[in-house]
Structure 1
């Protein structure tokens, strides 16, 4: 197998791309995942394209530590009112604790790692786009070029969407620049959003609706349109958000047929619920190279056979109290330590132990005993990371419809909302009754609540609170008393990046 690995080297904000090719061949037991070739599909199999060397390098960065591991978990979940840091008091140090208790310091090394990680991904996307536009040695049809450009622009749009929500004002790079061109000032959020929308619209128009199974997990038109709906929703562009969500919902590619308790396990990967997932895999001999560490950071922390991870990102009592009585989603979200008087079970029917370091863990990040036995270790690197679920799209549709108002839109919002609740109740008519309230303000509160419960511990809550203008009240109610929305809605611009820029970059307000 030839593994294509792009390496970022740095000076200043971000630096040039170095493409390295490492030889060797290893046959994976599972479906081929992003970022790799084997001898059966090299140089590129039917249905793919001649730019996969560059595209797969960008996909590979979706699994990178600075993109979707510790910093991502801290910034999207632990900063919210749903989760606490977990692990031990000292683990992660001041940099991790400040993400839970605020304020985050500009010197925070985890935040700087996120900055460089995401700009590494953006750089790889720009390199791919440059190759598509300018490399005359690669023979490709116009259709192949358009599809490859769409894939790179989807990944770039996603990266910038996270970055603008993390940091606000950030430098905008939409092409490969020379080393002397990289030190540019920040663009406004409006300018960043304009690029994101442009990228995702192009991706939605030029990506396939689905891929051959050998390419499972590659970006589709549905993924681009679904992400675009969230981009619109974040900017309160309700009509555009509703239309984009509706396009996904009427595509025939997705539905709510996957039971809630199955979505998050290994057998639920790439189901009809999945709009976009970061693909990961492993073998008994190769634990980490093709995986992502997100699950390990949230796994059960224990000194014995239950030692599945580091124990970060634990759901808290504030979230637990928000569930309606009898909601089955609570058990799939809260993984509880057994006590001397009460025995709790995992989703796979195992009795939990009394020895766990923490009383509760994120049940959605729990790896199955069957896969632990299959691979011979517990880390969970093989678990896909869910980025966009169909239920998320349906709830975005409901939210946008309610915000637009009017009798017809209220009916649409209720139908969408209740379809998510119906799947959650799983046939038990005694719980989660249909919502019938038509008052716009009351329905808004209900939809916000439903998003919290349906997507609990799935890396959306903090972003939702900020876009709703509810971050201050919600985090204060959760006891995070150092939170100051005017400062903490955004992370600080890393001081290391300000220093490297010689002051071209400026700090966010309040830091």
Structure 2
């Protein structure tokens, strides 16, 4: 299913392998014009896509996980990492930094390949396949220019293939002119490419993808620093609303009822083209010959606390969870944007780390991070979870998780933002409905199920140990029991629960399931239980008195202990389980009746965090510096030390706060360009 990127990998590998033959006299020669025909055309097209997701330093590996890792959502963390890690992740780069150079090189590599195809393919060819390839190449050339201009400002506009060294001596084109060409190319491509219904996957550019990205481009043009250019911001917002409305009105897209399922699909190589409109399609593991791997879930995922030497079968450990370094941490500002009933919080922000048992299968253990009054800056980005990957064995350093460049939720929020700006700062009913649709899905509201709004103790039970922190918090590593995930803090007097407080609304509750909620961790089969662990089953509470691996037979006795021969671990009856009843959240609790720009800004963070748009959003809203300074002040006042130290966590924000306000709005023009292009000039501050 990784069609376009696997083709790209094979194409580029074959091209590299042929270099040793270049010194020989060819017996035959295929002219370029003949090459861009028939079955070869898809190979050439695949090569244009390749910089988005190639294995070695692809744009979205570099761009999202490193260069844009520090914003008001996340920071690059872990003890000592700032000194030896990626300088571009903490605003410590300069024009010679590899990450900055890689983004520039990869974008212009994609542009050059697109220009080659466009120069040899007849735009009037009647073949729908040729027209689609031409349109995709045209759009991708524009998209690479879009990444460049939004990150570097004025950049050379490159519309023809390079035929001589002199062709590299191109001066910077004003930003507005680059954007105008981007819009022209994308509009020209719109009616050439296939509709998304042509494919059952999202890795090729479709009409929906072009319309959605055009809505994004116009929002960037409307905001800072262009402020709409000659046409004015109002015209840009109007165009953004028009193109987002096209995607909405197409009837081809809708929100996946489950927020978490979007990212499970990314990992499992399952395509939902209703929600995920355009993806970078990754593939392979550490061992495959052709690799187009991602660092989603590997560099920026839930930290695996084991060392390189793992007990038991190393493949079994990685099949259970997949390894992750946990480079990217979440800051307090993002965490505080969610309330306890918003199901996105506990999916996007890890409430556990992963470790390894040194004894028996399944080896991987989940170590809960408790909800406390003081945020400890020890929580990872958890949006992409490696346990859902289907390629086995899972590579340690790379994953096969796809990256969503454009989702339908983003289209709805862009529509609402443009709608608000066109109506004097107040959304029309259509704009409000778009935001509320995203919010309702984020909270887990469907026609049949909902999260909990409140929790009331109905029976204190008996036999509890000193503390009980959560219910369903120790679900299996595959999250199979998280449909009704519930977090609650409890007060215990003696062995009886005397108070309970809801800390997470969970999801998937029906009126019947919310009527009686047992407080404790449910018994599960094939699970390693340690002594003094407590579980509930069938309304009863049990304490593990002999450690072991549970069988498929649960404890059911109402006195005494179970038999190890029957239940594996020995479960001793401790009493009846405490119960609570829940009140379900409704749309009226979630929906907003009026929308402000701040509402949209916050909703974009809650919904789209880690998806590569946040810094650009802050820049176009002209609040990047002030926001980073606010986060710096918040983190500088932090006194709770856990996985990170203040000095490590605050590095990126400190670097921004101590530099001129304009410096980090743009990346520096890289040394690779400055050294060969005598017509190139540098950005201010670099």
* TM-score class normalised by the smaller sequence: 0.7 to 0.9
User: What does 1:8-407 align with in structure 2 at a 5 Å threshold?
Assistant: 19=15, 51-64=41-54, 65-76=57-68, 78-90=69-81, 93=84, 96-100=86-90, 102-133=91-122, 141-179=126-164, 180-210=166-196, 212-213=198-199, 217-236=203-222, 237-265=236-264, 266-267=267-268, 269-271=270-272, 272-282=274-284, 286=288, 289-299=291-301, 300-302=303-305, 303=307, 304=310, 305=317, 308-337=323-352, 351-353=365-367, 359-368=378-387, 371=390, 374-405=392-423
Superposition deviation, residue 127 in structure 1: 1.6
1:6 and 1:196, CA in 2 relative to 1: closer, same or farther beyond 3 A?
farther
1:69 and 1:403, CA in 2 relative to 1: closer, same or farther beyond 3 A?
same
- Provide structure 1 residue ranges, at least 5 long, that are not aligned to the other structure: 9-17, 23-42, 341-349
Q: Distance in 1 between matches of 2:353 and 2:210?
A: 42
* Structure 2 residue matching 1:388: 3-state secondary structure: strand
Q: Is the 8 A contact 2:142 2:182 kept in 1?
A: yes
The number of equivalent residue pairs is 457
Q: Which has the larger radius of gyration?
A: 2
1:420 and 1:198, CA in 2 relative to 1: closer, same or farther beyond 3 A?
same
Would you say 1:433 and 2:590 are equivalent positions? Answer: yes
Q: How far does the alpha carbon of each residue in 1:352-388 deviate from its partner, in whole angstroms, 9 at most, with x for none? A: 2489xx932211122125636x335454521111100
Alignment root-mean-square deviation, CA = 3.3
Superposition deviation, residue 297 in structure 1: 2.2
Q: Is the 8 A contact 2:258 2:444 kept in 1?
A: yes
1:287 and 1:264, CA in 2 relative to 1: closer, same or farther beyond 3 A?
farther
Superposition deviation, residue 246 in structure 1: 0.5
User: What does 1:451-490 align with in structure 2 at a 5 Å threshold?
Assistant: 451-479=604-632, 480-483=653-656, 484-490=660-666
1:370 and 1:178, CA in 2 relative to 1: closer, same or farther beyond 3 A?
closer
* Structure 1 residue matching 2:350: 3-state secondary structure: strand
TM-score, normalised with respect to structure 2: 0.61
Matched with 2:27 is none
Q: Distance in 2 between matches of 1:185 and 1:434?
A: 50
Q: Distance in 2 between matches of 1:211 and 1:58?
A: 22
1:66 and 1:279, CA in 2 relative to 1: closer, same or farther beyond 3 A?
closer
Superposition deviation, residue 90 in structure 1: 3.3
* Structure 2 residue matching 1:364: 3-state secondary structure: coil
Q: How far does the alpha carbon of each residue in 1:398-436 deviate from its partner, in whole angstroms, 9 at most, with x for none? A: 000010006995222111111111111212373561111
Deviates most, 85-94 or 169-178: 85-94
Which of the pair has the greater relative contact order for Cα pairs under 8 Å at 6+ separation? 1
Matched with 1:27 is none
Superposition deviation, residue 312 in structure 1: 2.2
1:419 and 1:307, CA in 2 relative to 1: closer, same or farther beyond 3 A?
closer
* Structure 2 residue matching 1:174: 3-state secondary structure: coil
More helix by share: 1
Q: Distance in 2 between matches of 1:333 and 1:407?
A: 30
TM-score, normalised with respect to structure 1: 0.81
Q: Is the 8 A contact 2:268 2:388 kept in 1?
A: no
* Structure 1 residue matching 2:186: 3-state secondary structure: helix
More strand by share: 2
* Structure 1 residue matching 2:53: 3-state secondary structure: coil
Superposition deviation, residue 444 in structure 1: 1.1
